Structure 1
Amino acid sequence: MSSPLTILVIVIAYLSFVLKLGPALMSKRSAFELRTLLVVYNILQVAMSVFIFSIGTDLILQNGLIIPRQCTIDSAELKMKTASIIYYYFYAKLSELIDTVFFVLRKRDRQISFLHVYHHTYALVISWYILKYEPVYSTIFLSTFNSFIHIIMYAYYGLAAFPNLTKYLWWKNYITKMQLVQFFLMVVQMILSHMFSHCKTSYVLLAALILNILLFMYLFSRFYTREYNKSQKNAINKAPLNVEINNDENKKFN
């Protein structure tokens, strides 16, 4: 944390591998299955998210979503708990880079989208910045709510590693909806914190967070619309085929 050099090297290495080196390395190789590794990884991610969510929720229940008093007051314990949650959240974002590495090794190129790569890169960099320069209480809601979403998301990924369970995972679309609700509530909470709390972020960080959250809302909405429309079209396209097959079968018996 003493220098941005370490995080810069990590980001460059991550982008280089997932965008260039990894695909080139896997181009002439068969995809890895990695089922056991995926299950273990997703269990660990759920455990980390549960931990951050639990301590973040406990802190919010004690102090509220907005602290209408001076940050500098008094409570060294509150400052330490706030910084600790941000610290754990930063390492969670760091570990989540492995998501994309698994996509590369499994040759799931379609999942290595701009949204995916940008989201992981931005989340890591902004959490490092907050931990380094502005570990303030008003960011706790962001990390806590996001960890709650990730409990559900990584539980889904862990179950999806078993092909025989995929037909039961009907709630995939709801994860994206929850993410959109999350972004909206984050914007509202940050604006209210900036208006009514002394324990707030700088204008620079506020602008960076809100502008990027709005971008995420647009990208996630577009992703959801594209995926939903695709599913609808597939269902519609299959219907005439089934009708035609049934008609042909009926003709045989008439």
Structure 2
Amino acid sequence: MLREAVSNILKLHSYLQSRTDARVRDYPLMQSPVEMTSILLGYVLFSVYIGPRFMANHKPFRLNTAMIIYNLSMVLLNAYIVYEFMMSGWGTTFTWRCDLIDTSSSPQALRMIRVAWLFYFSKFIELLDTVFFVLRKKQNQITFLHVFHHSFMPWTWWWGITLTPAGGMGSFHAMVNATVHVIMYFYYGLSAAGPRFQKYLWWKKYMTAIQLTQFVLVSIHISQYYFMEECDYQVPMWIHLIWIYGVFFFLLFSNFWVQAYIKGKRLPAMDNKPKLNGSTSEHITVVPNGKHLENGNGHHHSNGKIFLGKVKEI
């Protein structure tokens, strides 16, 4: 039985090798799914178990400077990704309708492959979001949705650029996601800069609306495929998965919108009552991808358990 299992694994590995586009095979983390899956499993283990237990006997780190540098670096990286997606087709030759996978080795196709891989690789850099939460002992901010989003996204994108590195209409959602991240990381950078920047963060309540708009745009764009008389997109399964992804996350984010802004169940809510030490509570707003918008001051301690992405009753 063991020999048969090993044989099946080797056959699967050989199959993946044969299906991996030769133009992207030599990029880091693209040789097989083993490396990236191991990293993501290690990330989940660190986020939920190892990190919180290590920090249980340590004081939270003050990482404001590192967070400012990190967030602003992510703004620049995502802005570059958006620019490259535009120059690789979306702002030049694409029709924004039935754009097929480019199987050539033209400069534009190779440029699209590079930016698709860079978008994929940026998702591993974004794992630092959770590392900062753990080291600052803000485990209550690491929700189920946060961990799921950060681990599932890069895992699925490995399969996407393995089959469709110059993905045509299948790359639209990546460009939109990078655009949203320019806005989000700019907000986080200002937030980490301290109280003197709070007056510039009046638009934080619109962050959820920006996320919802993202999934509406992605779903509408990819849905065109089902209404076209003819569109010979080479890997239809990728189209179906993008549509499911857009609708699934739209429903999750919509549920957050209802809970937080219609029913008023924010997690946590702002408490203006003075505490025993004379200080007031920190105002934190949750956005539905599991990240929190905060002013960078104060520390939150938790029992190390991961929340299931629900909005907490006050």
Using the size of structure 1 for normalisation, the TM-score is 0.84
Alignment counterpart, residue 128 of structure 1, candidates 158, 168, 171: 158
Whether contact under 8 Å (1:43, 1:154) holds in the other structure is yes
Say which of 22, 26, 39 aligns to 1:10: 39
Could you tell me which of 192, 212, 230 is aligned with 1:161? 192
Within 2, Cα distance between the matches of 1:208 and 1:73? 21
CA 1:218–1:110: 2 relative to 1, 3 Å: farther
Aligned positions of 1:84-233 closer than 5 A = 84-135=114-165, 136-164=167-195, 165-193=197-225, 196=228, 198=231, 200=233, 202-228=235-261, 229-230=264-265
Native 8 Å contact 1:138 1:199 kept in 2:
no
Aligned mates of 1:105, 1:10 — CA distance in 2: 19
Give the residue type in structure 2 aligned to 1:210.
Answer: W
Report the CA distance between 1:77 and its aligned residue: 2.7
Tell me the distance in 1 between the aligned counterparts of 2:231 and 2:85. 20
For residues 65-114 of structure 1, what are the alpha-carbon distances to aligned partners after superposition, in whole Å with 9 as ceiling and x for unaligned?
A: 43647645767233212211211101111111110111111111222111
Structure 2 CA distance, aligned partners of 1:204 and 1:181? 24
Matched residue type, 2:67: L
- Corresponding position of 2:113: 83
Q: CA deviation at 1:206?
A: 2.5
Identity %: 30
1: CA distance between counterparts of 2:151 and 2:86?
26
Rounded to whole Å, the distance in 2 between the matches of 1:179 and 1:3 is 31
Q: Residue 176 of structure 2: SS of its match in structure 1? A: helix
1:237 to 1:62, Cα distance in 2 relative to 1, 3 A: same
Residue 31 of structure 2 aligns to a residue in which SS?
coil
- Could you say if the C-alpha distance between residues 52 and 118 of structure 1 is closer, same or farther in structure 2, counting changes exceeding 3 Å? same
Residue 26 of structure 1, CA deviation: 0.9
Q: Which has the higher helix share?
A: 1
Name the SS of the counterpart of 1:128 in structure 2.
Answer: helix
Provide the rounded CA distance (Å) in 1 between the counterparts of 2:182 and 2:100.
33
Q: Calculate the aligned-residue CA RMSD, in Å.
A: 2.6
Looking at both structures, which has the greater relative contact order when contacts are Cα pairs under 8 Å and sequence separation is at least 6?
1
Deviation, structure 1 residue 137: 1.2
Q: What CA distance in whole angstroms lies between the structure 2 residues aligned with 1:154 and 1:95?
A: 13
Q: Assess if the C-alpha contact under 8 Å between 1:173 and 1:224 holds in 2.
A: no
Match of 2:17 in 1: none
- Is the CA contact (8 Å cut-off) linking 1:69 and 1:199 kept in structure 2? no
Separation (CA, whole Å) in 2 of partners of 1:219 and 1:6: 29
2:87 is equivalent to residue 52 of structure 1: no
The count of corresponding residues between Structure 1 and Structure 2 is 238
- Residues 14-38 of structure 1: CA distance to partner in whole angstroms, max 9, x if unpaired? 0000011001111122211200110
Query: Quick check: 1:49–1:151 contact (8 Å CA) kept in 2?
Result: yes
Q: Is the 8 A contact 2:85 2:175 kept in 1?
A: yes
The alignment partner of 1:62 has SS state of: coil
Helix, strand or coil: the match of 1:200? Answer: coil
